[in-house]
Structure 1
Amino acid sequence: MIFITLIASLLIAAVSIYQFDKEAKDYHQDRVDRKEKAIKEHINYILSTTTYPLTTENLPLIFRERIHELANIHSMEINIYDLNGHLLKSSKAAFSVDTLSQKIPDRILRIVRSTAEKRFVDLLTSEKGNKYRSSYSYIKDTKFKPLGILSLPYIEDDGYYEKEVKNFMIRFAQVYSFMLLISIIIAYFLSSYITKSLKAISDRITEIRLSSANEKIDQKDSPQEISQLVKAYNLMVDDLEESAAKLAQSEREQAWREMAKQVAHEIKNPLTPMRLTVQSFQRRFNPEDPDIRKKMDEFASTLIQQIDTMTSVASAFSSFASMPAQQNETINMVKIVQLALEIFNESYITFIADEPEVITRMDRTQLIRIITNLVKNAIQAMPDNKPDPLVEVRVYREGSNARICVKDNGKGISMENKNRIFEPKFTTKTSGMGLGLGIIKNIVENYNGSITFESERGKGTMFIVTFPITEEDSTETTNNI
């Protein structure tokens, strides 16, 4: 809208200037014609009343006194030439006649002779830069015989038109500046009204999440095109919710299938030795055997061991599927980590604390669980023939975060296993079900924390657990540590 207004104003200004210039040219042309007509009628009257014979040679005598009278009456300079273009008489003063062209150019003579009207008007520019017109036409006697050529120089005075153009452009600029301002204001509010609905739609689109409920848009007073867009968006929200529900259902079913497969696999492992043990005992059973009591004890011990294995499988999957409720309390992380390390008898486990207290708020049982799992993994990562095994546990504060670093110099993690290290059921050990790190990751993320690791094959692994701590946590004192 602003662009159209600006272009329109420029076009109108250009057309107006062109119109003023055309009117000025038409005015001067018309004035030259009227002056020439009046002067020629006056000349014809003089020729009809003169006593001199009407010849070209007598023209200077006929107009000797009358030419100045003609110039004064009609307020124009008058020059009379013979038919060959030589100057015969001029109304200019004697001392300035020398500055006048003494002969009409041959080009103009040919044009005047060739035209039907025997007339030509030439548009010229003076040495001072002023525009002027010069009219050339035949002077004829009473019998229409050519006697000479009349030249009427006419200087165009455009001062009036230039002043009018200047005044017009000033008023025009004022009016269109005001109109441009009005158009800017109207365009702003109009575009705001049009884009308000589009902005609402774009904001909603950026807020779309597959895992959460998305609100629909209610735009009852929107234009038809916007209404169609809103309708399409609302249909997309419905489809997205339906797809999300189906996806969630599919993921749950797939997760349970995978869990069922893993549970079945882990339970089948102890069932096979249990079956073989029972069959072997059944074949060799002899009530009269003097060692029957000893064999019964061995049989029972084997069954109890396998039953404990199945119990640990069920407990592990139960822990992974449903974490216990958090019992958050204000604790000193340094003391809790130190307490968790007391259950390990390995002499190569070292503990470092950068400060005596790192206060945070969380469930101490889950913190102990994190330390226990990480340290146990570090111990199990040690080769049997490692000359100088080392497991270093460090607690420190970094900005507004509390960090626990568990570092070992064991086997390290291979490149192909790094992306799967936190996957449930994934393990590189011959025992265990691969749920430890998955459980730890869930615990840490429940506290808005993070767990990362760095590992180099053959040199060891370092796990870093980060928990955010608030200023309130750091100023509270520990109780019941």
Structure 2
Amino acid sequence: MTFLTLRVRTFLFMLLIILVAFVLTGTFSLYHFRSENKQYHFDRLTRKENAMVNHLDYITEAYQRQGYSEAEWRKLLAEKVSEVSSVHQLDIGVYSKEGKLLAGSLMYTNDPKVFPPTVYIDEAAAPGEEVPLKITEQPPYLIGTRALRNDAGLLEFIVRVPYEVSANDIPDEDYNFLRRLAFIYVALFVLGIVMALFLSNYISKNMRAVSERLKEFRLNKSNEKLEWRFKDEIGELISEYNIMVEKLEKTAVELAQSERESAWKEMAQQVAHEIKNPLTPMKLTLQMMQREKDLKELHSMTTNLLEEIESLSHIAEAFSRFAQMPDVSLDAEDVSYLTNRAASLYLDQGIRFVSTGPLHARVDKEQWTRVIHNLIKNAVQSIPDGREADILITAAKAKDKAMISVQDNGGGIPQETQHKVFEPNFTTKSSGMGLGLALVKNLVNSFGGAIGFDTSEKGTTFIIVLPLLNPKQK
């Protein structure tokens, strides 16, 4: 079976179920009709025997009243038995109380398969209540045996009726029903095969669709999801596939971002090293020249050079800080208080702070302050010239999360660059290396939180979400 396809295995399995159902139903139906047929013959034999016994009772009474001789009565009994046998189309035998055959139809007396009722005589010989009809099976006969008693209750005759049961002797209504049932079974079997074939194709078709999607799956491209309308097993499989696609795409993005950041860190270390090495001797030389010469023009030139060197030094320092992310020490802190303390340094720059109360989370106090400073500086620098700054910082609780947002009234972030916001080297300002937001995201992630943003032409809001500590963790 291992070499068979899923479609073939499904079809064969469903076909097997249909066959088993049909065999069980057919077996039960056959058993039922055989039981009914047997009961039918028992009932028919009972009716026939009762009719013949009543007739013989009448003959016996007539014999007793009219005083026939033994020979005359036997002759009369043989005639009447033959007459009754002909009327009822059944063989009949009349035995004496000693078990001797007194009269019987020709077929009955000549049939070697019919035996005298010696066993029944002992039961019927005792006086008392009437012994009921006894039916025994001697294939192909049902033998009905009945005792006839006289007025004194003593055994007088034993009547024995052999009833031949034919396997084909089925009542017409039962035969017609079986014929219709057989036709229905054949039709249902054909329909079951068609349905099994359809369902096996249906299942295998969808499995092939999933298989094709898995073959086409690539980490370096956007993978198409599958759609399924029904909430069944295949729907669960496709749902899990779609979830896997989302997770893998997210993982691929994170991996690519991690690779980019790693490359940036290596480059930052190299740039910082290459810039710092010549800056120090250049700075010392210029400072010596500035002290030794007092010429105004030389002083102005060295001053400008020192400013440019200082600028390069700041750039190298920024690269160095990004490349060497500080180790964080997580402690239970009130981030609402820390945010307010950091924001209070910028009150003269149009910054407002609103809080719903203490928000305890596990952060590094110094690095959290660094995160807030970077976001505030980013918000201040995003305000266009000629526009008054209006920056709102909020700290609020949302279920089991702390939400800290920094909202500015700048010009927003263009749609085509929104996906690069947290990447190194992204900046919308005319100065700076674009490492601040990348640094912020890395720090927030190290706190177990997440950062996102919402932007429009009216400004941008950066939102940090942190897991709150329960009272036992504070």
Q: TM-score range by the shorter chain?
A: 0.3 to 0.5
TM-score (norm 2): 0.45
TM-score (norm 1): 0.45
